[in-house]
Amino acid sequence: MDDTTLVIECVKGNIRAQQMLFDKFARKMLGVCLRYAKNTEQAEDVLQDGFIKVYGKLKDFKMEGSLEGWIRRIMVNTALDQIRKNGKLLGNTNIDDVGYKIESNSYVFEGLIAEDLMKLVQAMPTGYKIVFNMFAIEGYTHFEIAETLGISENTSKSQYSRARSYLREKLELIDGGR
């Protein structure tokens, strides 16, 4: 079933189509949720809440752009809602917690697998992690991030810069241990 037919059938209340929609996108969207969550259980909760929103808003999907992108945006917003609810969005990190090193050692990435990098991203302070995910992975602009999170564009840029420095520092520690 193509995405258009899938959406139409889901809106009609076809339970089989709703299950097909979930099966088609759940794995990818869990990956999105994991980037914002502290652990797998929290990511699964966000995924479930996100799909409830998807089903509730599916009638509003205008069939413009990709269905996957539309669902991804709902998942990101659901993850951000969860973080807001827990009161840990931004501003919980001291600027002195991060060393600012400009040099880049790209060879550090050679032995790193995606799972290791994911663990480093998940270990970031919340503000860094959110902005890093939204900018570097989801493709939001700093302007969009600022609007979504209710922060200034400069704060978004600063958090992203700090996130990169944080990752660079952690990667250098890993490389130093080899």
Q: Mark out the alpha helices in 86-177 (DSSP H runs).
A: 114-122, 126-132, 142-149, 153-176
pLDDT score at 113: 64
Distance of alpha carbon 85 from alpha carbon 65, whole angstroms:
30
DSSP-derived 3-state class of residue 42: helix
pLDDT score at 47: 96
Q: What is the mean pLDDT of each run of 10 residues along the chain (178 residues)?
A: 93 96 96 89 95 96 93 94 74 36 39 69 88 91 92 93 91 71
pLDDT score at 177: 59
Q: Mark out the alpha helices in the chain (DSSP H runs).
A: 3-11, 15-36, 40-57, 67-85, 114-122, 126-132, 142-149, 153-176
Q: Which domains does the chain have, with CATH numbers?
A: 3-85 (1.10.1740.10), 95-176 (1.10.10.10)
pLDDT score at 178: 55
CB 127 within 8 A of CB 146: no
Distance of alpha carbon 174 from alpha carbon 166, whole angstroms:
13
What is the DSSP code (8-state) at residue 134?
I
